[in-house]
Amino acid sequence: MNAVTLRKPEATETANHGCSTGQVLFIRGILPRSGTNFLADALNHHPQIVRSPGRFWEFAPFRFQEQLDNYLHCIERSKHADQFSAESFLPHLGDAWLSYLAGRIQADQWAVYKEPSIDRLSSMFQMFSGSRALIIQRDGRDIVSSALKAEFGLPQFQWWKRSHWRRMLPDEAFRIHCRRYRDAAENLMQFLGSDEGRTFRSRYLLVKYEDLLRDPQQWIPKIMEWLSLDADRFDWEGFSSMPVRGSSFLRSRDGGHDFACGIEKPADGFDPTRRWSDWSPRRMRYYDSVAGDLARQLGYQ
């Protein structure tokens, strides 16, 4: 068998491209359709914020946290358990991700990634030891309305899965989205009230999509101050003319969702709130019975 010839790495390959100087901000939405696109696009109008450097439009690694936890637990249960600490290992894994995705950002910049999920927030803070998070909420009724309109909120129907058969019932998709919002709201409330939620309190900021829409002049500077950035450098003119991306109601000419370039705002404005106001009384009652109490705890009446 011929010997394998090892290629000497180039200098640029061996250089340290870690994100040890730049900082990372995660935008975590309570669910898809909660305004993560809007917030990420808005923050991108500050010169020290770099949206999605690297390869991920959304931070996909968070979606596989359960598999990572299982992997680490296997090591902790192995005969090498006394030589391994998941708590000590996780920050190294976070550093590796940031080196891979955002290693070239400058010392005074923030790399910003979004993920429309709040699952395992504690693990995020442990893995990315210097990270911060903006947790964006939205009225659950608007999330449900947008998810129904978007038509991609549920997995593709598979007839061999009995759990999918229920979707054939009248208005079942609506009920599924209501229950999803309830579960996400409960997840958020549990985190906020947990020891981890209190431990990491200085590293996350709760914002509402509706507040950002109605009063950006208050909330954008507040976020800038929280990130120790100069709010005077924010490009308000660019923000005002920012296109709408990913809307379920404002579509492209071919009727699709424009997640790339976005769609210019209509001349008479664009208000994505209270889309649920035409719900039937039956829908109103169902939503309130399933998620109303949790929504009110999060400030939505």
Q: b or e along 183-196 (b: 16 or more beta carbons within 10 Å of the residue's beta carbon)?
A: ebbebbeebbeeeb
Evaluate whether 262 touches 243 at the Cβ level (below 8 Å). yes
| Distance in angstroms (rounded) separating the CA atoms of residues 35 and 290 | 22
Dmax of the chain from CA atoms? 76
Judged against a pLDDT cut of 50, whether residue 96 lies above it is answered with yes
Per-residue pLDDT, averaged over 275-289, amounts to 96
Please, what is the average pLDDT of the chain?
Answer: 84
**Are 157 and 262 within 8 A, CB to CB?**
no
Q: What is the structure's pLDDT at 228?
A: 96
User: What are the residue ranges of helices labelled H in 103-130?
Assistant: 121-127
Order of strands, edge to edge, in the sheet holding 49-51? 49-51, 110-115, 23-29, 132-137, 204-208
pLDDT surpasses 70 at 89: yes
In the chain, where the domains are located = 17-297
The proportion of the chain whose per-residue pLDDT surpasses 90, expressed as a percent, equals: 53
* CA nearest to 42, candidates 285, 262, 267, 291: 262
Rounded mean pLDDT of 167-189? 90
How many CB atoms are located within 10 Å of the residue 125 CB?
22
Look at the domain 17-297 and name its fold. Rossmann fold (3.40.50)
Please compute the mean of the pLDDT values over residues 62-79 and round it to a whole number. 89
Dump pLDDT digits (tens) for 8-38: 334 333 334 344 457 999 999 999 999 999 9
